Amino acid sequence: MSAPEGPLVVGVDSSTQSTKALVVDAGTGHVVARGQAPHRLLPGPGQESDPESWWQALETALGQCGHAAGEAAAVSVGGQQHGLVTLDRAGRPVRPAMLWNDVRSAPQRDWMVEQLGGPELCAERVGSVPAPSFTATKWAWLHEHEPESAAATAAVRLPHDYLTGRLTGEGTTDRGDASGTGWWATSTQSYDEEILELLRLDSELLPRVLPPGEAAGRVGGGLPLPEGALVAGGTGDNMAAALGLGLHPGQPVLSLGTSGTVYAVSTHRPADPTGTLSGFADARGDWLPLACTLNCTLAVDRIAALLGLGREAVEGGGEVTLLPFLDGERTPHLPHSSGLLTGLRHATTGGQVLQAAYDGAVFALLRALKPVLENEPRQGSGDEAPLLLIGGGAKGTAWRDTVRRLSGRAVQVPRAEELVALGAAAQAAGLLLGEDPAAVARRWGTADGPAYEAVPRDDEALDRVAGALRDADTLLRRQ
């Protein structure tokens, strides 16, 4: 390894399935070492994981980074949003963490929204209409179904808070991740005492919300990190990815993964009563309006497998329409829906059906992107900026071509990978160097990558999918 141009920093991505650690040259953004270790997902009716396994995975991932981790001057953790971590007085988990994709709390979500006066008042107060993934609904579920666990809880944390707290011994969080709980109000940028009272949650159990740029503390001993290294506040995974791209306000992002995500940094606080947008804060001081679809690459891959085709074996033409809502859908709000296929003819080919699956998935994302971009008044619809495509799907020709054809816009695919960990590293570097972390990421060139020109928008395909969704509304909502 050549001598670094700047101090070394560590960025961590603790996701649903694994922990990744990058050691990064703060001067150039060059990744000098990396490590990764899996988490244990527990069997059962929900989606749960033992927080201790996250800590063990972090130790393993840092150990894989070798001596480079031992030279780091600062570290930051980006973590999966919305998870509920309950700790006893000794700091040990009371029970396994309920993860973001655990939606058993749907009845509690409906109760909470009703108690707060309905979707419009919720959005104005909290910034979002809480979804069953939000931490507040999980706490309400715990109180109802496991009152003994709720009573034994001495501290409530998010996944990134838990790891940051293990690093520093302090109880902190950041505004970005806090904005996804449902009990931190974006209207006041503070914990909402009335909501906490409704949920029977004492504010003393919650971490202190750090302002942007403030350190969470310093690394204690017993890790493959230097004792005393600075620990940045950390943030949620979506906020970290936005930092990792160094986004300017209004710059649109489509993330093509198992689920799909669209977002953009905004200077204007979101408050969408329809529930399409989650009105998150970002990790810097701005906002991150975001919409998420449940069915993206995994759903399209499943259609390809059913057809016995490779994922790139698409064909144009035909009249077929496919809404690939195989796991229910979050955006649009169709939690009990299934996939729907219409317009089959004798001449329809398997490749046309597969292309229709891509069209259905991308249509849902682009439909959600419109209000995301309209939330930034300085940029309007952001029509001139290329769409930044990230996630595993961004590497696929069929995904890129479908996005271009249905959006009518140019797309750009950043070469940088592990954007959550890179964003955490940029936050650590910004703290260490006294710089804006988004400016650090831009200096690193994290968004640089191949660009693909715009093509004429396929309005016929858009109308076909929109019509199928409209006409099938009753069928899709019947459950």
Q: 411-412 and 387-390 as β-strands: parallel, antiparallel, unpaired?
A: parallel
Just list the catalytic residues.
Answer: 237
State how far the Cα of 294 lies from the Cα of 69, in Å rounded to an integer.
36
**Dist. CA 16–CA 3, nearest whole Å:** 34
Collect contacts of 455-459 with beta carbons under 8 A, ≥24 apart.
455/404, 455/405, 455/408, 456/408, 457/405, 457/406, 457/407, 457/408, 458/405, 458/406
- Identify the H or E element spanning 24: strand 18-25
Give the model's pLDDT for residue 48. Answer: 96
Closest CA to 423 of 24, 6, 66, 5: 24
d(CA 226, CA 210): 23
pLDDT in tens, 390-440: 999 999 999 999 999 999 999 999 999 899 999 999 999 999 999 999 999
> Model pTM greater than 0.85?
yes
Burial class (CB in 10 A: 0-12, 13-18, 19+), 175: buried
Half-sphere exposure of 344 (CA within 13 A, CB side): 8
pLDDT at 479: 45
Sign of CA dihedral 81, 86, 91, 94: negative
pLDDT for res 378: 57
pLDDT in tens for each of the 479 residues of the chain?
Answer: 566 778 999 999 999 999 999 999 999 999 999 999 999 889 988 899 999 999 999 999 999 999 999 999 999 999 999 999 999 999 999 999 999 988 899 999 999 999 999 999 999 999 999 999 999 999 999 999 999 999 999 999 999 999 999 999 999 999 999 999 999 999 999 999 999 999 999 999 999 999 999 999 999 988 899 999 999 999 999 999 999 999 999 999 999 998 899 999 999 999 999 989 999 999 999 999 999 998 999 999 999 999 999 999 999 999 999 999 998 888 887 877 889 999 999 999 999 999 999 999 999 999 999 999 998 865 544 457 899 999 999 999 999 999 999 999 999 999 998 999 999 999 999 999 999 999 999 999 999 999 999 999 999 999 999 999 888 777 766 54
Give the span between the Cα atoms of 125 and 133, in whole angstroms.
Answer: 18
Amino acid at 265: V
* Distances in whole angstroms, Cα of residue 70 to Cα of each of 18, 29, 56, 302: 21, 18, 17, 43
CA distance 307 to 108: 39
| Pair of tokens at residue 422 | 């890179």
Query: Alpha-carbon distance 390 to 162, whole Å?
Result: 27
Strands (E), 251-297: 253-256, 260-263, 278-281, 287-293
